Chain A
Amino acid sequence: MTPQGESTVQEKKLGDHIVTAEKINKTFSNGVCALHDFSTQIRRSEVLVIIGPSGSGKSTFLRCLNGLEEIDSGSIVIDGIPLDKNKKNRLEIRKEVGLVFQSFNLFPHKTVLDNITLAPRLVRRKSKETAQKLSMDLLRKVNIHEKANSYPSQLSGGQQQRVAIARALAMHPKIMMFDEATSALDPEMIGEVLDVMKTLAREGMTMIVVTHEMGFAREVSDRVIFMEDGCIVEEGTAEHFFSNPQKERTKLFLSQIL
């Protein structure tokens, strides 16, 4: 595990910064401060894992990167495009950033295949045939192609989440974000989703993963951020986190979840 992790880290140091978030602040209308002067940069092909207690702002950060939440101040630049009030920029960024949700959010009235072909056809303007071929390839990749004509309600949680991953990949995003993608799954289904995520990581996809799966963090992450109250408490490699955490708060959190 470890040698592979290190070799990829060295390779990835060549990548330039694809995400630059600087001093972003986000306070919800109910007064809860989700992000407080949060800054970080992410390189191409980097796998960043964000951990932290609930309400620490992990999910909010992902949602801000994708424009689902508007930031109050600070700046986000993704692949050279600033995420601002400009609707066109936001749309461009959403095309490049895939997001996988904790609750899958598949479209229940569409078949698995239609769920996946929808965005490529409407947003990327692909023909029906091209989109379907692409979708079948992706379904094969997440190992669920025999369910192409089923409806989401006919699938298990793990299968639904793999479809959701394929749906996000169909837009050919440059970055994939996972918002507690395995938290809503039955234990025996977590593995099949994590396997897909690991494959993506090995293929060099830039990934931002909010998760409680420490095994995943240890195996494929290049960097781990521990967050609390909208700030970074500690960051470093997975090795650093699991063998030698510095801050008391980090130690406490890790002792609770490991």
Chain B
Amino acid sequence: MSMKMGRLSKITRQIPDRSTLLDVTKFLIVVAALSWVMARGTQQLGYNWQWYQVPKYIFQFHDGKFSAGPLMLGLFMTFRITAWGLALSMTIGLLTALLRLSDAFFARIIARGYLELIRNTPLLVQIFFLYFVLAPIFGFNRFFAGVIALSLFEGAYLSEIFRAGIVSIHKGQWEASHSLGLSTFDTYRCIILPQAIRRILPPLTSQAISLIKDSALVSTIAIYDLTMEGRAVIAETFLTFEIWFTVALMYLIITISLSIVVNVLENRFRIQT
């Protein structure tokens, strides 16, 4: 079994290095075409670009000391929301997946109900519901409401990824583990999840990136994240395009760094198996 898998992964690793030149040429053509479209677009727009105004909204320099501008503050808030959101949604996702795979009928029903309810309604409505309906009842603040809404939403998607990963592990692994006397908990912890997580790392990363971008929606309940700060600056300065592009670039920096980290992790795991 595993020998076969080893051979397969060797084959797939050999494929990428055919015709690098062709790929680079294609990439350059696409970049050139895009630049041309952009140039034409801005020309016809007749927009007065003022990029020189942007840096002061990112960093401010007072009395020989740097301080964070509004966009930077917004970025920190986005960091906080996504960090909590990632931790919580992973936990919720894993728990839901385990409930759906459990033997208890009632647990499966609860997990299924949660999944379908959350996955089939818009995130914006869920954020409003949590903040305007539930928050006053239970007395939690807008940050908490935002994080919970995001985590519940992403957790539903993550649970399906976790479930797919868990059921993809060969039945023989369960049997070997059980026959050695390991409990179901230990089997999940030491045998099934370590293997499943390696397999689901790519879709897990996609979902984490979605969470980072979806976190922009919490600006609708006046949490001063990157998007909200961006809107505030635009309202003051009318630098619409400059600020939105800057905000997009800042999101891009977070998501790409995440992708790189995961890539490194993936490579490290692959060497071992």
Q: Which residues of A contact B (CB under 8 A)?
A: 63, 66-68, 91, 94-95, 97-99, 101, 103-109, 118-119, 122-123, 151-154, 157, 160, 164, 167-168, 171
On whether the beta carbons of A123 and B191 are closer than 8 Å, the reply is: no
Q: Which 8 A-B pairs have the closest CB atoms?
A: A105-B176, A119-B180, A105-B172, A99-B179, A94-B181, A153-B6, A123-B181, A153-B2
Q: How far is the CA of A225 from the CA of B5 in the complex (A)?
A: 37
Q: Do A94 and B194 have beta carbons less than 8 Å apart?
A: no
CB-defined interface of B149-189 with A at 8 Å, one 1/0 digit per residue? Answer: 00000000000000000000010110111111111001000
Contacting residues of chain B (181-203) with chain A, CB-CB under 8 angstroms: 181-183, 186, 190-191, 194-195, 198
Q: Are A108 and B273 in contact (CB under 8 A)?
A: yes
* Closest chain A CB from B4 CB (angstroms): 9
Check: B24 CB closer than 8 A to any chain A CB: no
Is the pair A109, B176 in contact by a Cβ cutoff of 8 Å? Answer: no
- B255 → chain A, closest Cβ, in Å? 28
> Which chain A positions have C-beta within 8 A of B195?
107-109
Cα distance A91–B180 in the bound complex, in angstroms: 9
Bound CA span A95–B181, Å: 5
Docked complex Cα distance between A98 and B178 (Å)? 10
Given contact pairs A91-B181, A109-B195, A151 touches B273 in the complex (Cβ within 8 A): yes
Set of chain A residues within 8 Å of B179, measured between Cβ atoms: 66, 68, 94, 97-99, 168
From A63, A108, A164, A171, B181 is in contact (CB under 8 Å) with: A171
CA distance A105 to B173 in the complex (A): 6
In the complex, residue of chain A having the shortest beta-carbon distance to the beta carbon of B179: A99
Contact B190–A68 (Cβ < 8 Å)? no
10 contacts across the A-B interface (CB closer than 8 A): A91-B181, A106-B2, A109-B195, A118-B182, A118-B190, A122-B182, A122-B186, A152-B2, A153-B3, A167-B180
Contacts A109-B194, A153-B3, A153-B273: A103 and B172 contacting too (C-beta < 8 A)?
A: yes
Q: Does B11 contact A (CB under 8 A)?
A: no
> Is B1 in contact with chain A by the CB < 8 A criterion?
yes
Tell me the bound Cα distance from A154 to B6 in angstroms: 9
Please, how many angstroms separate the alpha-carbon atoms of A98 and B179 in the complex?
Answer: 7
Complex interface: chain B residues within 8 A of A105 (CB): 170, 172-173, 175-176
Residues of B within 8 A of A (CB): 1-3, 5-6, 170, 172-173, 175-183, 186, 190-191, 194-195, 198, 272-273
Q: How far is the CA of A103 from the CA of B170 in the complex (A)?
A: 11
- Known contacts A109-B198, A109-B273, A153-B6: A104-B1 contact under CB 8 Å: yes
Q: Which residues of A contact B176 (CB under 8 A)?
A: 101, 105-107, 164
Chain A, residue nearest B184 (CB): A87
Minimum CB distance partner of B4 in chain A: A153
- The CA of A82 and the CA of B65, in the complex, are separated in Å by 76
| B175 x A68 contact (CB < 8 A) | yes
Q: A91 and B183 in contact (CB under 8 A), knowing A105-B175, A108-B273?
A: yes
Nearest A residue to B198, CB-CB: A109
Contacts of A119 in B (CB 8 A): 180-182
Residues of chain A within 8 A (CB-CB) of B198 are: 109
Given contacts A101-B172, A151-B273, A153-B273, contact A108 B2 (CB under 8 A): yes
Question: A68, A104, A106: which contacts B178 (Cβ < 8 A)?
Answer: A68
Instruction: Specify the chain A residue showing the minimal Cβ separation from B194.
Output: A109
Q: Which residue of B lies closest to A115 (CB)?
A: B176
- Note all chain B residues with C-beta closer than 8 A to A94: 178-181
**Which residues from A are CB-within-8-Å of B178?**
67-68, 94
Q: Smallest distance from the beta carbon of A184 to chain B beta carbons, Å?
A: 9
Query: Which residues of chain B have C-beta atoms less than 8 A from A157's C-beta?
Result: 3
A residues within 8 A CB of B173? 105, 107
CB pair B272 A151 closer than 8 Å: yes
- Looking at the assembled complex, report how far the CB atom of A74 sits from the nearest CB atom of chain B, in whole angstroms: 21
Residues of B within 8 A of A68 (CB): 175, 178-179
Tell me the bound Cα distance from A26 to B175 in angstroms: 18
